[in-house]
Structure 1
Amino acid sequence: MSTCAYRVDGNSSASTVVLLHSIATHSEMWAPQVAIWSSVYRVVRIDLPGHGDSPEPVGEMTMENYADAVNEVLHELAVSEVSLVGLSLGGMIAQAFALKYPDKVRSLVLAHSGAKTDPAVARVWDARVEQTREEGFESQILPTLERWFTRDFYIGSPLTIAWLEGIVRRTSTEGYVSAVRAIQALNHLEMLSRLSQPVLVIAGEEDSAIPPAKAALIAKHLVNADLFTLKKAAHMGNIEQPVAFTEAVGTFLNKVYASVGCDYA
Structure 2
Amino acid sequence: MIAFDALGHGRSDHPKEINLSKNLRYDIIRDLEDLLKHLGVNSHIGIIGHSLVGGMIGQLFVMKHPEDIKFLILLNSGYIIIDNVIRNIFYNLLPYFIRMNFLDVIKNSIEEILDKTIPFIITALSDTLGGIKLTKDQLFMKIEEQIFNMINEINEYDPSHINCPTLIIGGRLDNFAPEIMSEELHKKIPNSILEIIDMAGHFAPAQRSDTINDLISEFIRNLK
1:96 matched to 2:60:
yes
Q: What is the match of residue 87 of structure 1?
A: 50
Larger radius of gyration: 2
Task: For residue 123 of structure 1, report the CA deviation from its aligned partner.
Answer: 3.4
Q: What is the match of residue 181 of structure 2?
A: 214
Q: Please state whether the residue corresponding to 1:217 is helix, strand or coil.
A: helix
Cα deviation, 1:60-85, whole Å, max 9, x if unaligned, reads 23423322211111011010121001
Query: What is the CA–CA distance in structure 2 between the aligned matches of 1:110 and 1:188, rounded to whole Å?
Result: 20
Q: Contact conserved, 1:190 with 1:221, CA < 8 A, in 2?
A: no
RMSD: 3.1
Query: What is the CA–CA distance in structure 2 between the aligned matches of 1:98 and 1:187, rounded to whole Å?
Result: 18
Q: Contact conserved, 2:177 with 2:202, CA < 8 A, in 1?
A: yes
Q: How many residues align?
A: 170
Q: Contact conserved, 1:50 with 1:56, CA < 8 A, in 2?
A: yes
1:241 matched to 2:187:
no
> Which letter maps to 2:47?
L
Query: What is the CA–CA distance in structure 2 between the aligned matches of 1:111 and 1:124, rounded to whole Å?
Result: 18
Q: Please state whether the residue corresponding to 2:72 is helix, strand or coil.
A: strand
Q: What is the match of residue 14 of structure 2?
A: 56
Query: What is the CA–CA distance in structure 1 between the aligned matches of 2:158 and 2:67, rounded to whole Å?
Result: 16
- What's the TM-score once normalised by structure 1's chain length? 0.56
| Structure 2: gaps (5+ residues) | 94-116, 129-145
Q: Contact conserved, 2:89 with 2:121, CA < 8 A, in 1?
A: no
1:116 matched to 2:80:
yes
| Structure 1: gaps (5+ residues) | 1-42, 137-179, 260-265
Q: Please state whether the residue corresponding to 2:71 is helix, strand or coil.
A: strand
**Counterpart mapping for 1:1-265 below 5 A:** 43-57=1-15, 60-81=22-43, 82-88=45-51, 89-116=53-80, 123-125=90-92, 130-134=122-126, 184=150, 187=154, 190-256=157-223, 259=224
Cα deviation, 1:194-230, whole Å, max 9, x if unaligned, reads 1110000111011112222221110110110000011
Task: Give the 3 Å change call, closer, same or farther, for CA 97–129 of structure 1 in structure 2.
Answer: farther
- What's the TM-score once normalised by structure 2's chain length? 0.66
Q: Please state whether the residue corresponding to 1:114 is helix, strand or coil.
A: coil
